Amino acid sequence: MSAALKEVELSGKSGGRAAPRHFLELSDIDSGSLRRMVDLGAKAKRGENLGQPLAGKTVALIFEKPSTRTRVSFEVGIRQLGGHVTTLTSKDTQLGRGETPADTARVLSRYVDAIVLRTDKVAKIRELAEHATVPVINGLTDVSHPCQLMADVMTFEEHRGPIAGQVVAWTGDGNNVAQSFIQAAARFNFTLRLATPPELAPPTDLIAWARSQGANVELTNDPYAAVKDARCVVTDTWISMSDEKGSIRTRHNLLAPYQLNQRLLKAAAPDAVVMHCLPAHRGEEITDEVMDGPQSVVFDEAENRLHAQKGVLLWALGLA
């Protein structure tokens, strides 16, 4: 092997740079960096010119599960920052046919400057990141959705000011988005009250981690207790992509008391905002009246994926 090839073999696309900044879980990243990303997102939304910092760079987006917002907001945001995108679904990658995440990482690191992955198992994205010489960004797994939380924090602050010290209530399934909310409570210093059926409570080790970080995270089975005085009420689908093989009727029966409807919203602070990561199943976890009502900020929240992820990309690429 020539010396030049050996150099490439050893260093990959990163050219011997320091370890890449992966955006895998909020718990992996310090509060100051997360704050910088959200603030950059807000700056981007205000129209302050971020320039073309991704000029000459390419980002690979890999979706092993469906997506509307994550895919389009990353594609558009990367182009707006001057970069190029290549998007793959599991139908058109060898990852979907059994190539290992490690080998995929080694190869893609030779072509692109960052990788966004939406997948099922967290072990897969961890393996990809371990072997990539470029940053890996978590576009959702069965247990987390950190990009969503960056947009959610930005959205709350846009409407109600700093989130630190505020009370946020979650009602419904203790799913991947709920679990990222728990991590966000620790990193952004807000109180989080989660109301879930006992069977669908978030993992106890995650709650213990958040509390060990000083976070105020409370669990209940009573959605009315959770929303009391809350300035933000959040819910999500009763059946996540990872639950599609389970019994729909059982989940609906368990989750029906947690529906975000007008009666529940009235029990929150009078100026509470309503958030939902979308896609929503109207008439199930959230009623039309609430979703389309004056307290709903769900479409700003969807828009803010575009802006907040610019902050994530710039941080991950060492440009912020």
67 binds ligand CP (CB under 6 A): yes
277 binds ligand NVA (CB under 6 A): yes
Residue from the set 133, 155, 175, 183 that interacts with ligand NVA by CB under 6 A: 175
Q: Are 57 and 113 in contact (CB under 8 A)?
A: yes
In angstroms, give the least distance from the CB of 118 to ligand CP.
7
The closest of 256, 71, 235 to 168, measured between CA atoms, is 235
Residue from the set 57, 69, 131, 187 that interacts with ligand CP by CB under 6 A: 69
Q: Are 32 and 312 in contact (CB under 8 A)?
A: no
User: 296: which strand partners?
Assistant: 274
In angstroms, give the least distance from the CB of 144 to ligand CP.
12
Using CA atoms, how far apart are residues 251 and 239, in angstroms rounded to an integer?
A: 7
The residues in 124-143 that bind ligand CP, with binding defined as CB under 6 A, are: 140
Element (H, E) at 102: helix 101-111
Q: Judged by CB, which is closer to ligand NVA: 140, or 185?
A: 140
Using CA atoms, how far apart are residues 147 and 111, in angstroms rounded to an integer?
A: 24
Look at residue 248 and give its three-state secondary structure.
helix
CA distances from 47 to 145, 296, 313 (A): 26, 24, 17
153 to 172: interface string for ligand CP, x by CB under 6 A: --------------------
Residue from the set 27, 70, 183, 309 that interacts with ligand CP by CB under 6 A: 70
Q: Judged by CB, which is closer to ligand NVA: 156, or 181?
A: 181
241 binds ligand NVA (CB under 6 A): yes
Q: Are 287 and 316 in contact (CB under 8 A)?
A: no
Which one of ligand CP, ligand NVA, none interacts with residue 240, CB within 5 to 8 A by kind? ligand NVA
The residues of the shown chain that bind ligand NVA, judged by CB under 6 A, are 140, 175-177, 236-237, 240-241, 277
